[in-house]
Amino acid sequence: MTTFIKNIFKYTPNDWLIDRFEDYVDFQEGPGLRRWQFADSGIPFLNIRCIKKNGDIDEDNLQYLREEDNEKYKHFLLREGDTVLSSSGSLGRMAVIKKKHLPIMLNTSIIKLKSKNIKSLNDNYMRWFAKSDYFSQQFLQESQGSAQVNFGPTHLKKMYILLPPLKEQEKIADILSTADAKIDAITTEIERTQTLKKGLLQKLLSEGIGHSEFKDSEVGKIPVGWEVVELEKLLTFKNGVNASKEQYGKGYRFINVLDIINNLTIKHDNIIGFVDIDENEFELYEVKYGDVLFQRSSETKEEVGQSNVYLDKEQSATFGGFVIRGSAKQEYNPVFINYLFKIPAIRKQMTSKSGGSTRYNIGQNSLNQVVIQFPPLKEQKQIADILSTADEKLEILRAKKQSYETLKKGLLQKLLSGELRV
């Protein structure tokens, strides 16, 4: 056992066994299929793009083995409950094969792990150990030294596993699996709420609340009583501050593209950047409550013109040169406008009016020509309140999920180090 391995397991309980990984775990790597063996249908096989960060299998990235090779490679077929690990690309991602995935097989850069003897190593504990720092430190050490980082059975043979008594392995695995199940349940609830919000967004912003009569318009059928408004009648546009690199990092809060795309809404304290400009310049480029901020430039056409709204009544900010500010010419509900600018029909207008090749841009003149549906102010608020309720629920669920993920991470560390005994 090397000094490196001894240091990794330095603070583990004396009654826990430290032994070679290969003595307790069988590992099998895929066959290394060639492209001419691929087909449009047949038995799917895993590749390094198939294992998601969260441990799911991405079925859109599966490839297929031609029928004439089925018999030749049948010993690479996986079973329900098998554990697979990516050994190249997104190194170290793990998934457990479920019944819905079958039939499915290994290919190169995917390794199957399985306990050799369930009386000495619990399969579920093995999976949790493979997610621990004890495993990842060895994993990274063994995979160093080449331009393309790879990992395989040769490296696994040099690794060690930490083995509590079997009953304790089972309890550790059960506790961590319970935390995982709670996170999965919250994730499912988040997905349901996102689907609900998407449906509400489309319905409310096209049909409104309680309407029975509709009319044709440039933006499709909308309720009688709603207007269609060009943005030049709603907003006054201005490009942002262009400063030297020495001016960044201090001064006024400075809204940039990341603030637009990473936040539900923008408030003073969640702005990440600062710029040092004088008071007169700040007044010229000031962002106030209700102003709309647009992404002026992007590498992809789909992202240009993305928008967000500034919702801080107490403090103002300024904005950067890759951003266009829209200030109100007439009254609107800013929360409603924020939702409206995110629906596909409005986004399509934004992208269709952008130009460029290596970078795509949208200017003030193009934004002026965008047309939107415009309900009465009272209905704008009603719609905004309903959609905000869905977003508030999502925020609560995401915070809850983050809390459980932090708890699980702490438990993983304490249970597999023996700091917490069960």
Average pLDDT of span 221-229: 95
- What is the pLDDT at residue 357? 72
Q: Band the pLDDT of 313: cuts 50, 70, 90.
A: very high
- What is the pLDDT at residue 174? 97
pTM: 0.82
Structure tokens at 32: 């290394």
Q: Is the pLDDT of residue 267 over 80?
A: yes
- What is the pLDDT at residue 301? 87
- Examine residue 204 and state whether it is found in any structural domain, yes or no: no
Reported as a single tens digit per residue, the pLDDT across 144-191 is 655 455 677 888 888 999 999 999 999 999 999 999 999 999 999 999
Look at residues 136, 163, 190 and tell me which one is the last residue of a structural domain.
Answer: 163
Q: Which of 294, 312, 319 is nearest to 304 (CA)?
A: 294
Average pLDDT, the chain: 92
Q: Is the pLDDT of residue 316 over 70?
A: yes
- What is the DSSP pairing of strand 318-319 with strand 248-255? parallel
Q: Is the pLDDT of residue 6 over 70?
A: yes
Say whether both 367 and 233 belong to one domain: yes
Least confident range from 70-79, 334-343, 378-387: namely 70-79
Reported as a single tens digit per residue, the pLDDT across 47-62 is 888 888 888 888 888 9
Its sign, for the CA torsion 268, 273, 275, 281, is negative
- Examine residue 220 and state whether it is found in any structural domain, yes or no: no
- Examine residue 216 and state whether it is found in any structural domain, yes or no: no
- Examine residue 84 and state whether it is found in any structural domain, yes or no: yes
Give the number of other CB atoms < 10 A from CB of residue 324: 24
> How far is 310 from 79, CA to CA, in rounded Å?
52
β partners of residue 39 = 64
Average pLDDT of span 207-219: 94
> How far is 402 from 386, CA to CA, in rounded Å?
25
The CATH number assigned to the domain holding 284 equals 3.90.220.20
Average pLDDT of span 128-150: 77
- What is the DSSP pairing of strand 273-275 with strand 214-215? unpaired
Least confident range from 41-45, 172-176, 288-292, 367-371: namely 41-45
Residues near 380 by beta carbon (within 8 Å), at least 6 away in sequence = 332, 333, 336, 337
Start-end of H helices in 267-319: 279-284
Q: Is the pLDDT of residue 122 over 90?
A: yes
Number of compact structural domains in the chain: 2
Cis status of the peptide bond prior to 103, with omega within 30 of 0: yes
> How far is 187 from 336, CA to CA, in rounded Å?
27
Average pLDDT of span 10-36: 91
Residues near 160 by beta carbon (within 8 Å), at least 6 away in sequence = 1, 5, 8, 9, 18, 19, 20, 21, 138
Say whether both 127 and 237 belong to one domain: no
Reported as a single tens digit per residue, the pLDDT across 340-353 is 999 999 999 999 98
Say whether both 119 and 254 belong to one domain: no
Look at residues 107, 132, 163 and tell me which one is the last residue of a structural domain.
Answer: 163
Say whether both 21 and 101 belong to one domain: yes
Q: Is the pLDDT of residue 90 over 90?
A: no
- Examine residue 263 and state whether it is found in any structural domain, yes or no: yes
- For residue 354, which amino acid is it? S
> How far is 37 from 288, CA to CA, in rounded Å?
61
- Examine residue 50 and state whether it is found in any structural domain, yes or no: yes
Q: Is the pLDDT of residue 401 over 90?
A: yes
- What is the pLDDT at residue 150? 65
Structure tokens at 324: 């266009």
Q: Band the pLDDT of 206: cuts 50, 70, 90.
A: very high
Average pLDDT of span 35-42: 90
SS3 labels along 136-195: HHHHHHHHCCCCCCECCHHHHCCCEEEECCHHHHHHHHHHHHHHHHHHHHHHHHHHHHHH
Say whether both 121 and 240 belong to one domain: no
Say whether both 253 and 341 belong to one domain: yes
Residue 296 exposed, middle or buried by CB count within 10 Å (0-12, 13-18, 19+): buried
Q: Is the pLDDT of residue 138 over 70?
A: yes
Q: Which of 270, 256, 237 is nearest to 368 (CA)?
A: 237
> In the sheet where 318-319 sits, what is the strand order?
273-275, 248-255, 318-319
Q: Is the pLDDT of residue 383 over 90?
A: yes
> How far is 56 from 71, CA to CA, in rounded Å?
27
- What is the pLDDT at residue 145? 52
Give the length of the chain.
422
Q: Is the pLDDT of residue 109 over 90?
A: no
Which position has the higher pLDDT, 388 or 47?
A: 388
Look at residues 117, 144, 163 and tell me which one is the last residue of a structural domain.
Answer: 163
- What is the pLDDT at residue 53? 84
β partners of residue 65 = 38, 43
Average pLDDT of span 99-127: 91
- E-strand spans in 269-317? 273-275, 292-295, 297-298, 307-309
- What is the pLDDT at residue 170? 96
Q: Decide: 16 and 164 in contact? Cβ < 8 Å.
A: yes
Which position has the higher pLDDT, 266 or 52?
A: 266
Which position has the higher pLDDT, 329 or 301?
A: 329
- What is the pLDDT at residue 144? 61
Boundaries of domain holding 283: 227-374
- 3 state SS of 39: strand
- Examine residue 381 and state whether it is found in any structural domain, yes or no: no
- Examine residue 189 and state whether it is found in any structural domain, yes or no: no
